[in-house]
Amino acid sequence: MVFPVCEKDVDYSLQKRGIRRDRDVCQLSLATKKLTSVPDLSRFHFLRTLWLNNNKIKELSCRSFNCCLTELYLQNNNIKSVSGALSHLTCLQILFLHNNWIRGLEDTMHELRRMQQLHPISHELCYRHHVIHSLPSLQILDGKEVKPAERKTSFQIYSQDGHRILQSVAFGRRQS
């Protein structure tokens, strides 16, 4: 049986650990709780790390997450899309989304575009080039530095028209 989490469950979990004030919560684990949705956690202003992995979560809402999260673990759920739910998490550094039902890499990249400190990791083909193209400010991906040659290749692959125009324009000095 799958149970939705309510605030009482969160409060009980915190009391069990001796935490009485919301501002004392910087890490919260709701992993493996059979959750079908994410509770509203916006009251935890200092929450930095959140484990929601190994649940049955289907949808995400931007109202559930504090904008100061730096680590978010959502792997092993039933999430179909992250659109509209994560773009405000600009401090996010670690995000695990593997083993979900997410389709549409382009929509996902658009959602992650504002995250300047994110270190995404994946093993899908062409993923690295797509991420490099979609997140031009990215310096490190999967623990490896993004090299200028990779940026050039990514531009060639994902900006066909732009690459053609760039190749057709000649820059030089006028001969007298």
Q: What is the mean pLDDT of residues 108-133?
A: 76
Residue 163, pLDDT above cutoff 60: no
Please tell me the CATH code under which domain 24-116 is placed: 3.80.10.10
Q: How far apart are CA 137 and CA 146, in angstroms?
A: 10
pTM: predicted TM-score of the whole model, two decimal places: 0.67
Residue 176, pLDDT above cutoff 70: no
Between CA 69 and CA 44, with CA 135 as vertex, the angle to 5 degrees is: 10
Residue span(s) of the chain under CATH 3.80.10.10 come to: 24-116
Structure tokens at 78: 């039933």
Predicted pLDDT of residue 72: 93
Predicted pLDDT of residue 69: 93
Residue 136, pLDDT above cutoff 80: yes
> Residue 70 in contact with residue 95, Cβ under 8 Å?
no
Residue 175: pLDDT band with limits 50, 70, 90: very low
pLDDT tens figures, 30-84:
999 899 999 888 889 999 999 999 999 999 988 788 889 999 999 999 999 998 8
Residue 165, pLDDT above cutoff 80: no
Nearest to 150 by CA among 167, 134, 129, 165: 129
Predicted pLDDT of residue 8: 73
> Residue 22 in contact with residue 43, Cβ under 8 Å?
yes
- pLDDT higher for 97 or 173? 97
Strand 94-96 with 71-73, pairing: parallel
Kindly report the average pLDDT of the chain as a whole number.
80
Lowest mean pLDDT among 4-8, 83-87, 117-121: 4-8
Per-residue DSSP letter, 148: H
Strand 140-141 with 144-145, pairing: antiparallel
Cite the DSSP H helix spans in the chain: 7-16, 105-112, 127-134, 148-158, 160-168
φ/ψ of 141, rounded to 5, equals -135, 130
Q: How far is CA 170 from CA 6, 14, 99, 166, 174, in A?
A: 63, 65, 47, 8, 11
Predicted pLDDT of residue 168: 47
Residue indicated by tokens 């193209």? 133
Residue 125, pLDDT above cutoff 50: yes
